[in-house]
Structure 1
Amino acid sequence: MTEQLKRATISDVAEHAGVSRAAVSKVLRNAYGVSPAMRTKVEDSMALLNYRPLASARGMRGSSYTLGVFLVDLSNTFFSVLVEGVRDVAEELGYQVLIGQARQGLDAQQKLIEAMVDRRMDGLLLIAPFGPNEELEKLGRTIPVVVLGRHGPAMHFDTVASDDIAGSALIVDHLVALGHQRISMLANTQPSSEPGMPQTVRLEGYDIAMRKHGLDEWIDHVPGRWGYESGLEAGRSLAKRPSGKRPTALHGGADVAALGAFTSLFDSGIDIPKDISLVGYDNVPAASLPPIGLTTVDQSGVQMGRQAAELLLSRIEGRQESQHILVPPRLIIRKTTCPPASADASSTDPSRRSFPVE
């Protein structure tokens, strides 16, 4: 039996012709500014490689050379970091990125996604969408889809996410090495979490890490949402607890919520980190500001965005098998964590701090 040849992609044509993928994209869409020599070189490579755009992606749907990016929460600045990576790759290949923001709720989300499909975008990149996997699978059967922030598996769409189990473990391990036991986590409990959502996996990682250290009795989920206002409210609720019942450290879930908690704890006269150590997740730009210096988990947002865009473009070119990428997280230690006031010398030995310090 003759082995089936691999279908040539736009990347193959670019490599063969010795040009960028953006140049190939311009030739394909007959864009302004392509020299006759460049066009000839690219078209010759297409002919030699037997390259042809997938009919379902280019001919039947037509090509708008636009990618739709869906998100819900514009206040979370980590999403803008993801979009930066998406835009970098898209612009290299001559695509435009159109961003749509929906209000909270499944109905609003569904209406916006349907509007993007109706406008004949070539593919959709969804940032932490809500709802059951079945709806995403249904969408992925009609248009190329990549989901950012949500974990696989899936059959008809790709995913790119931080390894949230490992990220929460980095936080708990760091705090335990400093001598903390009463470690709480700000949980994103609204809306209800679907399997694979970052709030579900990150919380699971916290529970696993706490149990690994024998700290089952101190597992404490502080309910709320991963937003600044909810972070403020979580900080107020912790400040109202009697000092003996208050955690000595808090896994903030996400930077945007951790920064809210930072503000309300500070306003309540609680010292960060002497009274409560605080760790975020995302490494948004504000986390590194000197007055804050938030210890956090970096999940390489720009790189995640780039990888998601590359997956989406390869789907547009015809790839059908699903791919699921987990990005290794990295702990960034700054000023908001230190040993608890009650820790003994053995538990705060600096030699136990085996993490990179920024």
Structure 2
Amino acid sequence: MTKPAPRRITIVDVARHAQVSTTAVSKVLRNAYGASPAMRIKVQQAIAELGYRPSAAARGLRGQTYTVGVMLPDMRNLFFADLLDGITAQLSGTDYQVLLAPGCNGEKAEARVMEAMIDRSMDGLVLIAPVSSKARLNTVARSVPTVVVGRHGPSTTYDTVTDDDVIGATLVVEHLADLGHRRIAHIEHQETDPVRLAEMPNAQRANGYREAMRARGLADEIDIASTSYTHEGGYLGTKELLARPARPTAIFAGADVVALGAMEAIAEAGLSVPGDISVTGYDNSALAAFGPISLTSVDQDGRQMGANAARLLVDRIGDRDRRTSHVKLTPSLVIRRTTAAPPAS
């Protein structure tokens, strides 16, 4: 016979155990004015002895659940861990808790995640590189305070945090060109929605690559493999580039995880990095700094991006009507062992 689930401890149980009113318990829980130090000690002791946990649903009915939803496009990309570190560090010392969900790089999956977060009365959302339409994002932001990370383009309904992806791509091309490379190829994330194209970080990086190549007089050498910002995408994109009649001497991968796939394909072809082909990434994730990899990469300061997103979200929760803010960080290039001068002809 199945035992019934244990009854949830309520605020009434805490009040009885502490021999105080439910109003007094509520004041202690909300850290409100009017509860004496002695009262706080009695209530907190009762909470500890009974194992009381406030009901998020009940708190939501009163106005706040103190939960923040963070939607990630891909749980395997280590750069997103840097963003999360920044978000959680900024929220430390507050009552807010972060809950994660994967958006899976698809509009339908993202819609389900965002609806679930709204249905659970989360106080605010941080959406990292969402692929949903701008109209959809605006609809969500009108329902719940929202910060979008990685999408370019201003909005009057949600705040944004971005990296200057054009400058980041320019830093890569200039570094490689200064080393003497001319055949510099790029692996981009293929964008299927022309309406969304201009706002996406992958498109900004590809445009920055093209502009920088033209500025260095290398317009005829522009070469792009369109795959995906994944390990597999880097691998397949590099195999495509290596099959060219004149293979590149350097590959600019649009993300660190892409660069890892590129390096695998290069090794499989019996070539070396950087002896035969230089490789750069983008994100400066923990993998890039890992000694055996030592990947040259663009640092867009994910922790600072996350901290800014959390700060903007808390400000938005506190004042829904304030003017939207749009923060853009300036990246830097971290040079490591995967880039060198091109091999002699």
User: Who is 2:80 aligned against?
Assistant: 79
Alpha-carbon shift at residue 178 of structure 1 (Å): 0.6
Contact kept in structure 2, 1:159 and 1:308, CA below 8 Å: yes
Question: Which amino acid is 1:198 matched to?
Answer: P
Which residue, out of 307, 321, 324, partners 1:322? 324
1:30 partnered with 2:30:
yes
The total of aligned residue pairs comes to 298
Provide structure 2 residue ranges, at least 5 long, that are not aligned to the other structure: 1-25, 41-58
Which residue, out of 331, 336, 339, partners 2:338? 336
1-side partners of 2:203 and 2:29: how far apart? 42
The alpha-carbon distance between structure 1 residues 60 and 315, as it changes in their structure 2 partners (threshold 3 A), is farther
Query: Which aligned segments of 4 or more residues in structure 1 are displaced greater than 6 angstroms?
Result: 58-61
Question: Which amino acid is 1:222 matched to?
Answer: A
Percent identity, aligned pairs only?
42
Which residue, out of 235, 258, 271, partners 1:232? 235
Contact kept in structure 2, 1:168 and 1:203, CA below 8 Å: yes
Contact kept in structure 2, 1:231 and 1:259, CA below 8 Å: yes
1-side partners of 2:92 and 2:100: how far apart? 14
Question: Which amino acid is 1:79 matched to?
Answer: F
Contact kept in structure 1, 2:103 and 2:130, CA below 8 Å: no
Secondary structure of the residue aligned to 2:70 is strand
Alpha-carbon shift at residue 109 of structure 1 (Å): 0.9
User: Who is 2:22 aligned against?
Assistant: none
> Residues 12-91 of structure 1 correspond to what in structure 2 (within 5 A)?
30=30, 36=36, 62-91=63-92
Alpha-carbon shift at residue 238 of structure 1 (Å): 2.4
1-side partners of 2:142 and 2:237: how far apart? 40
2-side partners of 1:129 and 1:333: how far apart? 29
Alpha-carbon shift at residue 60 of structure 1 (Å): 8.0
Contact kept in structure 2, 1:61 and 1:120, CA below 8 Å: no
The alpha-carbon distance between structure 1 residues 179 and 317, as it changes in their structure 2 partners (threshold 3 A), is same
> Residues 147-296 of structure 1 correspond to what in structure 2 (within 5 A)?
147-192=148-193, 194=196, 195-242=198-245, 245-296=246-297
RMSD over aligned Cα atoms: 2.5
Contact kept in structure 2, 1:72 and 1:104, CA below 8 Å: yes
* Larger of the two Rg values belongs to structure: 2
1-side partners of 2:111 and 2:165: how far apart? 26
Secondary structure of the residue aligned to 1:84 is helix
CA-to-partner distance for each residue in 1:268-322, whole Å, 9 max, x for gaps?
1111112111110001111111211100011111111001000000000005211
Question: Which amino acid is 1:178 matched to?
Answer: L
1:132 partnered with 2:133:
yes
Provide structure 1 residue ranges, at least 5 long, that are not aligned to the other structure: 1-25, 41-57, 344-358
TM-score norm. by structure 2 comes to 0.81
1-side partners of 2:267 and 2:186: how far apart? 18
Contact kept in structure 2, 1:184 and 1:219, CA below 8 Å: yes
Alpha-carbon shift at residue 28 of structure 1 (Å): 9.5
Question: Which amino acid is 2:215 matched to?
Answer: K
Contact kept in structure 2, 1:190 and 1:224, CA below 8 Å: no
Secondary structure of the residue aligned to 2:110 is helix
2-side partners of 1:161 and 1:206: how far apart? 18
Contact kept in structure 1, 2:280 and 2:297, CA below 8 Å: yes
